[in-house]
Structures are given as structure tokens and as C-alpha cells.
Amino acid sequence: MIGNSLEAGHSYHHLGSAGRNVFYWLTRIKLPKIIIIILILLCIVPLFTHYYLLKVETDLSNMDIHQTRSRLEGFHDFTSMRAADLKARIEEMLRIKQSVSNELRDLEAKRRKLHADVNSLTQQIDELKQELLHQQMDLDRLKISVVQAQAAQREAVERNTPELAPPKRILSNFTPDMLPAHLNSQLCRMFNCFDHSRCALTSGFPVYLYDPEEFSVVNEDWDIDGFLKTYIKHTLRYNSHLTFDPAEACIYIVLIGEALAISHKTGDSGTALDIKKLQMLPYWGGDGRNHVLLNLARRDLSTNSGNLFNGIDTGRAIIIQSTFLRQHFRENFDLIVPPILGPPGGDVWPECAHMLPARRKFLLSFQGEMRALKSSTNHQIVDDAELDIDRVSLDENNLDNFIIQHLKDMSNGITLDKFFIQFECIPTSEEKKVNEVLDWSLCGTDSSRKAILKESTFALILAPSNASFLSTASIQARLYESLRSGAIPVILGGDSIALSFKEVIAWRRAVIFLPKARVTEMHFLLRAVPDNDLLAMRRQGRLIWDRYFGTAQSVVDTIIAVLRDRLGIPPLPASQSPSPSIFNSSFVPLRSDTIAAESEAEESLGPLEPPYPSPAFRRNYTIMLVQGYEMWNDWIDPFKLYPQLPFDTILPSDAKFLGSEVGFRPIGKGAGGAGKEFSESLGGNYQREQFTIVMLTYEREQVLINSLARLYGLPYLNKVIVVWNSPKPPMEDLRWPDIGVPIHVIKAKRNSLNNRFLPFDAIETEAVLSVDDDAHLRHDEIMFGFRVWREHRDRVVGFPGRFHAWDQNNHNAWNYNSNYSCELSMVLTGAAFIHKHYTYLYSHWLPQAIRDKVDEYMNCEDIAMNFLIAHITRKPPVKVTSRWTFRCPGCPVSLSEDDTHFQERHKCINFFSQVFGYMPLLNTQYRADSILFKTRIPHDKQKCFKFI
């Protein structure tokens, strides 16, 4: 009943308004109930039927075609249909289904296409926004560039320094005229006996050598040592100053050599030098002006070597030899040189002892037998040793005798220090035979003396007792041996003698000079030398020996350099490596239109400028005056003239504003400033400049192209040098990016990592950014590194830091370490700034053994460069930013990922330290970051770098 009532109520609820009205009026009219029921039925039944049909139609409209047909077919009796009709009906429904599915698939494809179009348009909008940002940045940079160009134009107009033209050539075009000798040769000095008109500043100091085979100046019974004749001739041929035109020569070298008697008739009574042959030399000019008599000794002093020029009028010629009597030496005219004791040339590092330990087995050593040399003709005492026994009295008050006794007592005294003092030698039969002619005073063989010296902290050298000698070949030979073995020379009587090349070499940095009267203070003085000074003196002695003494080539080159330096003539320019292009003259490489934009494009890093090379050879005639001491004693390369040096002097700060020089770009025009002003100018202590990127690559073309593309828009970039180490040329269809600066691809002669540091003539800037082809550096990192390098031009300035560690537990050797550490000693040149000057030194000054080791391992060239710069400067590198290493996702496997890579670097670091004689690397505990890094600044100011 309740259910019927609910159903009735539900039906009533669904009736229309007309049905409800009829029902209402029927209930109000008083009619028999049967009639009322009939009327109700007649009215309500059609209404229910109508409602039901409407509901079915609505449901059918909301169903798919298959459901609709199924519902409609439910009203039919399918039992009466034939099978063929039923099959046709089903096939028709399947076709309808397939049609609907295809339509839905098409609609889905259209939807996806529209979605892709929306994404593409969104990406294009983002790219256009980025491009707009880039264009805005380029516009800002161009505005800054215009300001910089206007400043450069104003400087060019206002500068009051005219361009220098070469002076008038005064180089002679004829040989010396015949002039009579009118001056006592003993009074000769450079101002009155040297013809400066033949040696112009721009002449290049041409040197002419008389062929010793054709122009011999010794008597017939004598001959010049064959070694000297051959090798001096050959070594001079390697000297860039040699000329074969006597008419243009500045000086004329006559090789006297070491004359040896070849006839038994001469003995000691003959005279080796033939004055007539000397005066008949074709360019002697009557008085020998601008001639150099080169008397090089290869052994100890003979009876005639010291007095070779006694009683002979050498005119206005300069005498160069190892032995000089004090009365015959003409200050700043003649030249004292060491004997030729080393090989002709090449690496000499195996001859050198290691610098450590600082204190060796013997505190002091001396080996030598005292002999007197007497000329058989006039019995003049000629002392080649440290003491002349003929002049030593047995009186205890005699100074020389006292020195001998004190040295013996010191060696036998009660002390913890050990001495090796030997005054009596037992010569071998070979030495006896030689001593008959040369009368050597050195004990033992060269190898035995070397063994003792390598165990000696100091080596004693005794000045001649005969005070008439200013220098002897024996003293210079002992000096040579001491420096070679790392024993610090102690010259007792050093105030009375002169050492080789004393005009230019600061001997006090490598040698201890002590008057003979202070021999009792010697032990105290030697013990007072601390380890750091001791090693500094030993290192300086090694530098002097290696550069000026070690080989015949170095001795000859030093002689030429001293004479040239004396005249104030600059050396010849250092040779650069050619930069042949990998492309032939007819091939034009393809260009790519795509540019890899920097992600930090909203930061302005500097103006866009045309290539601007660093000014070159501006100090040709002044560097010897201002920094001549450093050239000879610190940089150890006075033989070549370099375009620029990392040690050039700095102008004071007010020079930027008072017109002393041009090219300065002070920040905020001198007022300073934060990020905005900082990005517009380089500032610093140097004039404006740019840098060159040198990138070495091998068969990674796409990696290279990607790295080059990322350089687009990099400020202060002069050019990019790509060293193509691969034997195969690049593919012809390879597309090179246009980055706004030249890209010079150099064809390497062979695959060598040493090619990274060749001094290519295409490099026109002082600053060189050495970078691997897979290193990904942001522009702001590069710019910050460049700015830091400008204030540390003599160092390696870069990003990936490494350090050398001592392996005390296993091998007692050095290890190469790349772990994170609070100390570092190397900055890898896979991403570092260096001065171009160091590429010259690496390629031409660094021992060949190191470059050979780099080729052997195909590794370690970056370690070698760190060794070189630390050795020259005695400073650690400068690391910038927190970046420690580089990762290149998707790059081919590099050499550094091989397991043997680190093992080879361990071996390299130990081998290099053996070649240098010590470990030159120095530790540092700090890195460079931007000044305003992590500094709270006002909201209207900008930091120097947003991300550094």
C-alpha cells in the first residue's frame, strides 16, 4: 500500500500541469465514484503513455548508435527475421562503428596537432622574448662600445707621443779602414777603443767569425784544440747574431782557443800566438778595433795559457779568457769567462744534483793539491792553484800557512759537522802525463770530485796566493763543478778575484765571498745560513750554471749577449711558431646560423669591440736599463727580445688621469662604481686589452663546434685559435659558427699535447686562455678570470685546482691529487689564463726531456706549465670561483677518464721534479672571488657579477 502510494505520488509528480488541473476539478465535482474513476483513467493513461515515450526518446538520444539500435530493436520480434537480414544488419552496424572510430581518431589527431601548435607558438614566444633580451643586451653593449670607441678616438687625437720611426741607419757597408795604432792597448776602454759607429741600435748586433781553419793566428809549432775549433764554429752558427758579411759586422771574433804544442822543440819556451798573423787578418784595420780575441780553455791552466798575450800588443781588441793577471785586465772592456767543460749543447739536467736535502753529509769540502807553475824562460811564478807553495813560508805568522793549518784543525776538531778537506792527491798515471803539460791542481777524476761535491753543502774555493792573478781557469773550473753539483761555493779570498760574467750576474745570490783574514769565522758563518736561504742560493746557482755555464753553446751565447748588453743594443726578437691554416686558400668553410645563447644573458659583461692586439715591442731599448738585473738573474733569458713580458713595470694610478699614457678604462671614469659601472670598463692597473682563446682538439668535431658556438658575444675576445691535432682535416660540410671574432684553425705538424703551448704568431694578445674543447665555461666566469689575470699576469689564473701530495706511507714520492682540498698548487690549463711569454719559454727554454715525457705519455703538459711558471716566479697559481672540475655530458670519453691517466701523472710529477732539481710547486690556501660577492648592497645597486 505504501509502495502504491509512493508510486502514485511519483506518477502524480511527473504529470503535467494540465493533468493536475483536470484531476483537481474532477475531485471537486460531485459525480458518482465509478464515473470519476473512468474519467480519471481516460485522462491519466494517455498522459502516462506520453511521458514514457518521451523518456525513451530522450534516453535514445543520449546513447550511441549501437545502443540506440539495440533499444529500438528490443521492440521487435527478431525471431521472425531471416539470418541473412540479421547478418546484413550486423555488418552495417560494424561499418558504422568503424566510421565512428575513424572519425574519433581524426579528431584526436587534430587535437594533438593543435596542442603541438600551441606548444610551438609558446616556445616561439619564449625564444622571441629571449631574442629580444639578447638584442637589448647587444644594444646596450653597442652603446658601451660606442662610448669606448669615442674615448679611443679622443685619445688618438689628444695623444702627444708621436709614432717613432727607425733612426737613420749608421751600419757600415764597408770593412774597417787601415788605421795606425796610436794608443797603448792597456789604456783601452769602450769609449776610446771601440768603434760604436759600426753597432747601431737597429743593427741587430751582427757578429762575424774568422774561420779558424782558414785564419789561424798561432805559430806553426802550435795548434788550436780541435774540439774548440769544431764546436765553437758550430755553436756560433746557431747564434742568430752571426753574419757572413764582414762589411756589416759589428764585432769580429778571432778564435785563439787553447793552443797546444805539437812540436817537441817548443816546450814551454815557445809562444803560441803569432802577432804577425794576428795583425794580417783581413779586417784587423791596423789596430784591431771591434775585434774579440776569444781564448777559451777546455782544461786547467797550462804554463802559457795565462800569459798568452804577455808582451804582445793586441791593439784595440777585446780579450776574452778565463785567466787574467790583474795588471792586464781592462775593466768593462775585457771579459772573464768560464772554461768550456760541458757538452756542446742540449739538455744537461742529468748532470745536476737534486737540491734536497738542504744540508748534506759534509758541511764543507775541498780537494786540491798545491803546485807552483814556473815558466822555463823567466821563472815567473804563475799560480793556477789555490795556493802557491813557493810563496808559502814555514813561518806560522804567514797567512796562507795559517789558513792551511786552520782548515786541518777544523776538519779534525770536535764538532758534529763533517768536513772533507784534502790537500794531498795521488794522481793516476793519466793525470801525471797530463800534469806534465797542464800541471793540474785538482785531485782525482771528474767523477770522484763530483761524488764528493754532491754530498757537500758548501764547496771551498781558495783564491790564488799570487795576488797578481785576478782570475784563473782553475778557479772558474771549481766554480763550474760546485754549481753543477749543487754545492754552494765559498770563495776564501773572494774579495781579491773576479768571477765569470761579473758585469751581469749577481754572484752574491749564489756564492759566499769571504776574505782570507776571516777564515776563523767561516765555520760560524756557514752554520748561520738557514735552510731557506741555503736552498735559495743553491737554486740560484743551478739557474746560473744551467743558463750560462752548462754547455759550450750557453757559454758562447752568453759571451755574445754580454757584449751586446754592454753596447745597449736589444737582442733579436724571439722566433714565433707559424700558424698555417688547416684550410687551403681556395676553400671557404661553411657557416652555421645557429648560435648557442648564454643562459645568463640578462647580465652585461662588457662592450663588444673589434679585435685589438696588445701593443708589442714597446720596451726594446729600456728594458735592459730598468730590468736588466732581473733579465740576467731572475727571468734567465737575456738572449731574446719578447713582444711583451708579464713582468713589465706598472704606471702609478694617477697616470690614468694626468695623461702619462693612453688606453686606460677606469671604472666610472675614475669615480668607481658597482655592477653597472664595473661592466662598462675594465679598470685595473693596465690599459685596455683583449685575450685569445687557444683550444686544442682531436677528432671531436661536434664537441668543438658546440664549444665554439658558446663563445658568441663574449666581450674582450680577440680571436680563437683552434689547434687541429688530428691527421685528418675537418669534414668539408662541417658548419663553423659565426661568433663575431675570427676563428683560426691551425694545422699541427704532429699530434702532440705540446702544441697547446706553441708561441703562434697568430696570437696577438698578451693574455691567452688555454681551454679544452669540451670545457663549458660561462661567460661571466671567463670575464672574471680575465680580470683577475690582469692583476696577476705572471701566474696561472684559472678554474680547476689540483695539488701535489707527499706519499710518505708507501713510496716516499710525490702524488698528483684531484680531490677537494683546502690547499692547491696547480691550476690546470684546460681552463686557465697564462701570459704568452710562457709559451716561448715552454717551447724553447724548458728542458727537452720534459716535452719528450709529455709526448711519451700523451699527458701532463698542464703540469709542466705549472712547474715552469712556479719555477720562474716562485709563486703559486691563482684559482678563481668555486668551480673545481668540468663535466661535459654527451662528450666522447676523454684521455683523463682512463685509469692510467692518474698513474702517469704521478710519474710525471716526480720526473719533472728530478729535471728541475727540486719541487717548484708552491701551495696556496685561497681563491679569488668577486669583491662584492656575498656583500649586502643597496637595492638600487648591482653586484660586480650576479653569479660569482
Active-site annotation, residues = 862
Beta-ladder partners of 827: 801
d(CA 254, CA 284): 10
Cell numbers standing for residue 300: 786547467
Q: Between the CA of residue 336 and those of 231, 307, 324, what are the distances in Å?
A: 20, 14, 8
Most distant pair of Cα atoms in the chain: their distance? 184
N-to-C CA span, the chain:
88
Angle, CA 443 vertex, CA 442 and CA 448 arms, to 5°? 115
| Residues sharing a CB contact under 8 Å with residue 500, sequence separation 6 or more, in sequence order | 322, 336, 337, 338, 471, 476, 479, 548, 549
In angstroms, the Cα distances linking 326 to 306, 320, 374, 683, 749 are 11, 14, 18, 56, 55
Angle between helices 446-454 and 473-485 (to 10 degrees): 50
Cα distance between residue 543 and residue 868, in whole Å:
13
- The residue written with cell numbers 527475421 in the block is 81
Sheet holding 207-209, edge to edge: 207-209, 251-255, 291-295, 318-321, 335-336
Q: How many CB atoms lie within 10 A of CB 883?
A: 18
Q: Is 402 exposed, middle or buried (0-12, 13-18, 19+ CB in 10 A)?
A: middle
* Residues facing residue 224 across a β-bridge: 259
Candidates 405, 410, 368; CA nearest to 526 is 410
Count of other CB atoms within 10 angstroms of residue 259: 25
Taking a C-beta distance cutoff of 8 angstroms, is the pair 258, 272 a contact?
no
Query: CA-CA distance, 637 to 779, in Å (whole number)?
Result: 36
Cβ atoms of 198 and 249 within 8 Å: the answer is yes
Contacts of 287 (CB under 8 A, 6+ apart): 179, 180, 181, 182, 183, 315, 316
Contact 865, 834 (CB under 8 A): yes
Is the distance from CB of 93 to CB of 100 less than 8 angstroms?
no
**Exposure class string for 103-120: b at 16+ Cβ within 10 A, else e:** eeeeeeeeeeeeeeeeee
- In the chain, what are the helix, strand and coil shares in percent, each to the nearest 5? 40, 15, 45
The answer to whether the beta carbons of residues 900 and 946 sit under 8 Å apart is no
- Phi and psi at 358, nearest 5°, equal -65, -45
User: Considering only CA atoms, which of 728, 733, 737, 734 is closest in space to residue 699?
Assistant: 728
Helix-helix angle 848-857:899-916, to 10 degrees: 170
Q: Tell me the HSE value of 675 on the side-chain side, using a 13 A CA sphere.
A: 21
Q: Which of 357, 387, 385, 323 is nearest to 487 (CA)?
A: 357
Distances (CA, A) of 674 to 139, 360, 779, 941: 21, 56, 19, 6
Residues 6 or more apart whose CB falls under 8 angstroms from that of 165 comprise none
Instruction: For cell 656583500, name the residue.
Output: 935
